[in-house]
Amino acid sequence: MMVLIDKIGNRFVRDGIITEEDKELYTFGMQQGIIMLLNIISTIIIGIIFNMVWQSVVFLMAYMPLRSYAGGYHARTQGRCYLVSLLITVVALLGMKEIQWTSLSGLLSVIISAGIIYLMTPVEDANKPLSELERIAYKKKTRRILLLEILIALAFWFINQEISVCFIMIFIILSIMLLLGAWNNKRLINKLN
């Protein structure tokens, strides 16, 4: 895939569409776009396999913006990242399908997991450290998105509980990713000392 993207970048430079200096930026953008498209297609395929297409789409659409700002565990390679994303989708769909959600279990799950997200965010990655200004901005954005998604989950609990359960699984999985990210960061710091 990288060879094809590099050829496209070279072609853009040769045709005068972009400059040589901008080639790396454009090839990176194309690579990220392809990876995102692959994740979307894979999520829909998993949804088809589980007979939960709309749930997989709701999960992906609501998880991505929250995860983007909250941070948490990140795999070291794009291949591992893709596999972790697939695993997360499978776990989320299984949780939606197999757990017998009650008002109490749903509310407790939201309180605990949203509390973890609210308090810990953002958990930066060693490969992508944040400046203090970025940390403040990410925290605000995460908290706003989290509040909006909690309100959506609560509103749908009485209308369509399945939609609320999608959001509950988002909160649970993201809180786990934050805890894993914080643990991984602490482990790396201890390894350096």
Domain residue limits at 39: 1-49
Q: How confident is the model over 91-110, as pLDDT tens digits?
A: 999 999 999 998 899 999 99
Tell me: do 92 and 43 sit in the same domain. Answer: no
Residues 16 and 45 in one domain: yes
Alpha-carbon gap, residue 71 to 169, rounded angstroms? 17
Q: What pLDDT digit, counting tens, does each position of 15-62 carry?
A: 888 888 888 888 888 888 888 888 899 999 999 999 999 999 999 999
pLDDT band at 134 (very low <50, low <70, confident <90, very high): very high
User: Are residues 45 and 65 located together in one domain of the fold?
Assistant: no
Judge if 134 and 165 occupy the same domain. Answer: yes
For the chain, how many structural domains are there in total? Answer: 2
Q: Are residues 65 and 34 in the same domain?
A: no
* Residue 160, pLDDT above cutoff 90: no
DSSP secondary structure letter of residue 99 = S
Q: Are residues 15 and 110 in the same domain?
A: no
| Contact partners, residue 185, CB within 8 Å, separation at least 6 | 123, 124, 125, 126
Range with lowest mean pLDDT among 11-25, 61-75, 168-182: 11-25
Same domain for 45 and 84?
no
Q: Are residues 9 and 70 in the same domain?
A: no
Of 14, 31, 49, the residue at which a domain comes to its end is 49
Are 142 and 183 in the same domain? Answer: yes
For residues 85-117, one letter each, b for 16 or more C-beta atoms within 10 angstroms of the residue's C-beta and e for the rest, the string is beebbeebbebbeeeebeeeebeebbeebbebb
Distance of CA 59 to the CA centre of its chain: 10
Q: What pLDDT does residue 53 have?
A: 95
Q: Are residues 13 and 82 in the same domain?
A: no
pLDDT at 135: 92
CA distance 113 to 127: 25
pLDDT at 193: 65
Q: What percent of the chain has pLDDT over 70?
A: 98
Co-location of 77 and 122 in the same domain: yes
How sure is the predictor about 1, in pLDDT bands with cuts at 50, 70 and 90?
A: low
pLDDT greater at residue 5 or residue 154: 154
Same-domain status, 151 and 169: yes
